[in-house]
Amino acid sequence: MSIILKTPDDIEKMRLACRLAAEVLDYIAPFVKPGVATEKLDRLCHDYMVDVQGGIPATLNYAPPGYEPYPKSTCISVNHQICHGIPGEKPLRNGDIVNIDVTVIKNGFHGDTSRMFLVGDVSIQARRLCDVTFECLWKGILRVRPGACLGDIGHAIQRYAESAGFSVVREFCGHGIGARFHEDPQVVHYGQPGTGIVLRPNMIFTIEPMINAGKASIRALANGWTVVTKDHSLSAQWEHTVLVTETGHEVLTVSDGMRPPPDWAE
């Protein structure tokens, strides 16, 4: 496994790309409401990334080995869709929960982040799932420091999610990121403390737990990209890109409109 430690210049470029990705989510938030098609949300995000930020949507035509090119500029996953939801003509409905995942390329570097959005009046269970998943993200982030292990991150997330009665998707994970969209290491959201790669300063990776209200089992749709819960239960995801610093961590995907960390994470 080859982990790329970032130079000071790389880190500055990552700070910019990550801030831009977060600002796309700030921009799109007022448009996420009942009656709006996810295809329109994708188009708005695309235009903002390209025309306003001067960036490149990383997912558009992205084609890892074995996949057809991804056709849109964002991933928008609704309700029981876990990840890689392809924006389409179906309008959002009152009570939906929506994950919007954005990756911006700027000056050759990638900024990657996602948030959950509540559409109208959502159920108590849906709101709780989104809140717990957000807290899982921060349970993982707080474990990031030099000398810690990747297993410390996964264990903190898994323990918190399962203590709330939810399950952790195991087939998808966070990842290193920089000049390439997906780099080493893989950052799984379950595991045992003290296991896995030891964290070093200047590593950058995403933490992006996918948490299901029901069982962890998944199913892939025929479009070759979208993954859903096998039992049709709701799923939620939040994502930040994180830098390992000399003394701890720095969250790079920050913006004025981002949801602040939980009080206990401050």
What is the pLDDT averaged over residues 148-161? 98
Rounded CA-CA distance 151/174 in Å is 13
Q: Is the pLDDT of residue 160 over 60?
A: yes
Average pLDDT for residues 154-160, to the nearest whole number? Answer: 98
3-state secondary structure of 146: coil
* pLDDT of 1 above 60: no
Q: What is the pLDDT of residue 230?
A: 98
Looking at residues 26-41, what average pLDDT do you find?
98
Pick the CATH number of 8-250 from 3.40.50.1100, 2.40.50.140, 3.40.50.1360, 3.90.230.10: 3.90.230.10
What local confidence, expressed as pLDDT, does residue 14 receive? Answer: 98
**DSSP of 84-114, one letter per residue?**
-PPP-SPBP-TT-EEEEEEEEEETTEEEEEE
The label of the residue with tokens 């990383």 reads 58
Q: Does the pLDDT at position 201 exceed 90?
A: yes
What pLDDT, on a 0 to 100 scale, did the predictor assign at position 124? 98
The average pLDDT across 218-233 equals: 97
pLDDT at 162 over 80: yes
Q: Give the DSSP H or E segment for 168.
A: strand 167-168
Domains of the chain, by residue range, sit at 8-250
pLDDT at 66 over 90: no
Q: What is the per-residue burial (b if ≥16 Cβ within 10 Å, else e) of 147-163? A: ebbbbbbbbbbbebbee
> Would you say residue 126 has pLDDT above 70?
yes
pLDDT category at 266 given cuts 50, 70, 90 is confident
| Prediction pTM value | 0.97
Tens digit of pLDDT for each residue in 133-154? 999 999 999 999 999 999 999 9
For range 121-128, the mean pLDDT = 98
Mean pLDDT (the chain) is 97
